[in-house]
């Protein structure tokens, strides 16, 4: 091992800055702007250890200074990344307006993970924004991203939230905060749109090579790097969105700048989980036409990938027509790839370990029945696991005049054709059907208490969300469907 690779600070920082070496149009120097009184609110000790950091050295005041941006960790070279994006269908130039990338931490396992401060002050890409973030939305990202991780869904992670001791002006004055986000990278579909829009072919090519190497090393030998990258991203997004749909997750703002090439879920804004199963579910207050509704997510994923393909066209083939034909050929595979991942996910949720042609239709009938009965998505699937366990299927969804009273006989017949012992089926169903999701009312309750200075509610929620597949007495209060309020749940972008 070289001396350089051994260099590691006392707190365990081992930062590299490979993105900062990409062509200059792709980023700008941008140091975090110091804040008045950094105070640690949440620190993810387990994640710190995974990163090779010393929680003891970072949990206290010196950690707060670093995660607020008042002091740079060893090896940091802060930059803001340039990107563009289609926001609700419209192209805009963006860039990190309130975030800086400190560098890439090389973990003890050899992974390279971005360490980004979000809410760390103005950058060259801030436009009219103040570069800051409010405490509520940063805690929300922490809760939901960590919940997604526990659910086994690829996602950026949250290492810390610190308050700044400064208020920020939104519709009202709010406490300011900085989130430390950990990501496979922050390269977005919008990063490629930006690189292509600059007309700087060398930058686009360098970005393509870099992204392929960093996230799809296995495809590096391909003769058409841009097409290989595109196909790799398509496959991961098809899988990711299928995973979202299988747990009832609504991202809420699937703009192309919020879609990561690594295949991780990124940018938790107005996201939320469905309670009642309805494909038309929209939570975001700004999504007036339901563009990013629960059931629209695969179509939007496909649409976003078309924007990525467009950005890559100059590299796919010098001949424009040939490039378009090849890109369209690849893009056209998305619906089938999504359907394959989604069907596999649904099969697992129904306890089916083998594949039969009618499985998707069987699952679809279950989903339709749930919609008609306005049944809770998570609890209904959990009830199926219980049914295999107890041999009985009860509850309003399955008895009396319920829409699924005949469905369950066909499901049982299908399960019997598998010839598996119930214990095996139950174990597999448990892994596919979380009993616990971050219920919107629980998240709101925890945020309200936290912003008012009481973190205990938030800590209890985070503890419960760490183990979402097992029913325990402790997580019982978090599993219940929300009490009816008669009101539609709404989320706000909360920048």
Name the residues annotated as catalytic: 257
CB 156 within 8 A of CB 165: no
Q: Give the chain's largest Cα–Cα span.
A: 73
> Is residue 258 within the footprint of Mg ion (CB under 5 A)?
yes
Rounded CA-CA distance 146/177 in Å is: 18
> Is residue 126 within the footprint of ligand AMP (CB under 6 A)?
yes
Residue 163: CB minimum distance to Mg ion, A = 22
Stretch that binds ligand AMP, among 124-132, 317-325, 332-340, 396-404 (CB under 6 A): 124-132
Which residue lies nearer to Mg ion by CB, 193 or 267? 267
The entry of ligand AMP, Mg ion, none that residue 199 binds, CB within 5 to 8 Å by partner kind: none
> Is residue 167 within the footprint of ligand AMP (CB under 6 A)?
no
Using CB positions, name the residue nearest to Mg ion: 267
Rounded CA-CA distance 493/340 in Å is: 32
> Is residue 175 within the footprint of ligand AMP (CB under 6 A)?
no
Residue 255: CB minimum distance to ligand AMP, A = 7
> Is residue 129 within the footprint of ligand AMP (CB under 6 A)?
yes
Determine which residue in the list 55, 263, 269, 345 makes contact with ligand AMP, applying CB under 6 A: 269
Which residue lies nearer to ligand AMP by CB, 304 or 475? 304
> Which residue in 332, 337, 357 sits closest to 347, CA to CA?
357
Which residue lies nearer to Mg ion by CB, 38 or 137? 137
Eight-state DSSP code of residue 260: B
The entry of Mg ion, ligand AMP, none that residue 98 binds, CB within 5 to 8 Å by partner kind: ligand AMP
> Is residue 440 within the footprint of Mg ion (CB under 5 A)?
no
Eight-state DSSP code of residue 253: -
Rounded CA-CA distance 124/153 in Å is: 33
Which residue lies nearer to ligand AMP by CB, 176 or 263? 176
Residue 494: CB minimum distance to ligand AMP, A = 9
Which residue lies nearer to ligand AMP by CB, 86 or 341? 86
Helix, coil or strand: residue 491? strand
> Is residue 287 within the footprint of Mg ion (CB under 5 A)?
no
CB 270 within 8 A of CB 491: yes
Which residue lies nearer to ligand AMP by CB, 63 or 97? 97
Residue 258: CB minimum distance to Mg ion, A = 5
CB 20 within 8 A of CB 77: yes
> Is residue 267 within the footprint of Mg ion (CB under 5 A)?
yes
CB 16 within 8 A of CB 98: no
Rounded CA-CA distance 281/283 in Å is: 7
Rounded CA-CA distance 380/252 in Å is: 23
Size of the site for Mg ion (CB under 5 A): 2
Residue 174: CB minimum distance to ligand AMP, A = 11
Determine which residue in the list 130, 278, 310, 368 makes contact with ligand AMP, applying CB under 6 A: 130
Which residue lies nearer to ligand AMP by CB, 126 or 224? 126
The entry of Mg ion, ligand AMP, none that residue 131 binds, CB within 5 to 8 Å by partner kind: ligand AMP
Residue 218: CB minimum distance to ligand AMP, A = 30
Rounded CA-CA distance 310/6 in Å is: 42
Give whole-number Cα distances, 139 to 52, 159, 443, 484, 490, in Å.
Answer: 23, 11, 10, 25, 17
List of long-range contacts for 288-292, beta carbons under 8 Å, 24+ apart:
291/88, 291/89, 292/250, 292/251, 292/252, 292/253, 292/254
The footprint of ligand AMP on residues 71-100 (CB under 6 A) is 94-98
> Is residue 258 within the footprint of ligand AMP (CB under 6 A)?
yes
Q: What is the DSSP string of 385-405?
A: HHHHHHS---STTTSTT-TTT
CB neighbour class for 214 (10 Å; exposed up to 12, middle 13-18, buried from 19): middle
Using DSSP, how many helices (H) and how many strands (E) does the chain show? 18, 13
Instruction: For tokens 């616990």, name the residue.
Output: 436
Which residue lies nearer to ligand AMP by CB, 207 or 254? 254
The entry of Mg ion, ligand AMP, none that residue 73 binds, CB within 5 to 8 Å by partner kind: none
Using CB positions, name the residue nearest to ligand AMP: 129
Residues binding ligand AMP (CB under 6 A): 94-98, 126, 129-132, 258, 267, 269, 493, 495
Residues binding Mg ion (CB under 5 A): 258, 267
């Amino acid at each position: 091992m070289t001396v350089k690779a051994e260099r590691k600070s006392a707190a365990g920082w081992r930062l590299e800055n490979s993105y900062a070496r990409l062509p200059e149009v792709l980023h700008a120097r941008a140091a975090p702007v110091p804040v008045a009184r950094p105070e640690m609110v949440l620190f993810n000790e387990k994640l710190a250890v995974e990163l090779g950091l010393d929680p003891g050295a970072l949990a206290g005041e010196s950690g707060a200074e670093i995660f607020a941006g008042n002091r740079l960790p060893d090896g940091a070279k802060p930059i803001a990344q340039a990107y563009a994006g289609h926001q609700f269908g419209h192209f805009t130039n963006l860039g990190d307006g309130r975030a800086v990338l400190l560098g890439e931490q090389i973990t003890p396992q050899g992974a390279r993970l971005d360490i980004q401060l979000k809410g760390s002050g103005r950058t060259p890409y801030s436009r009219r924004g103040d570069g800051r973030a409010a405490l509520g939305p940063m805690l929300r990202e922490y809760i939901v991203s960590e919940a997604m991780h526990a659910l086994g869904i690829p996602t950026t992670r949250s290492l810390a939230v610190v308050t700044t001791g400064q208020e920020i002006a939104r519709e009202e004055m709010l406490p300011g905060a900085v989130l430390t986000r950990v990501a496979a990278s922050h390269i977005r579909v919008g990063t490629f749109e930006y690189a292509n829009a600059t007309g700087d072919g060398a930058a686009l090519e360098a970005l393509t090579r870099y992204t392929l190497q960093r996230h799809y090393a296995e495809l590096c030998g391909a003769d058409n790097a841009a097409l290989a990258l595109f196909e790799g991203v398509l496959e991961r997004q098809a899988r990711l969105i299928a995973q979202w749909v299988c747990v009832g997750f609504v991202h809420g703002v699937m703009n192309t700048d919020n879609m990561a090439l690594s295949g991780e879920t990124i940018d938790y804004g107005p996201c939320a989980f469905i309670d009642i199963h309805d494909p038309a579910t929209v939570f975001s207050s700004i999504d007036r036409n339901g563009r990013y509704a629960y059931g629209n997510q695969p179509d939007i994923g496909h649409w976003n990938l078309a924007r990525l393909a467009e950005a890559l066209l100059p590299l796919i083939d010098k001949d424009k027509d040939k490039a378009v034909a090849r890109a369209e050929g690849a893009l056209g595979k998305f619906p089938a790839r999504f359907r394959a991942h989604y069907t596999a996910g649904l099969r697992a949720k129904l306890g089916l370990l083998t594949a039969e042609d009618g499985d998707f239709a069987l699952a679809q009938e279950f989903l339709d029945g749930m919609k008609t009965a306005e049944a809770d998505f998570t609890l209904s699937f959990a009830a199926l696991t219980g049914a295999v366990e107890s041999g009985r299927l009860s509850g309003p969804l399955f008895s009396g005049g319920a829409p699924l009273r005949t469905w369950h006989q066909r499901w049982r017949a299908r399960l019997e054709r598998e010839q598996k012992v119930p214990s095996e089926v139950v174990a597999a169903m448990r892994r596919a059907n979380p009993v616990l999701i971050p219920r919107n009312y629980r998240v709101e309750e925890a945020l309200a208490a936290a912003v008012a200075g009481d973190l205990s509610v938030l800590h209890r929620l985070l503890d419960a969300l760490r183990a979402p597949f097992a029913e325990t007495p402790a997580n019982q209060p978090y599993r219940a469907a929300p009490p009816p309020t008669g009101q539609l749940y709404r989320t706000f972008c909360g920048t």
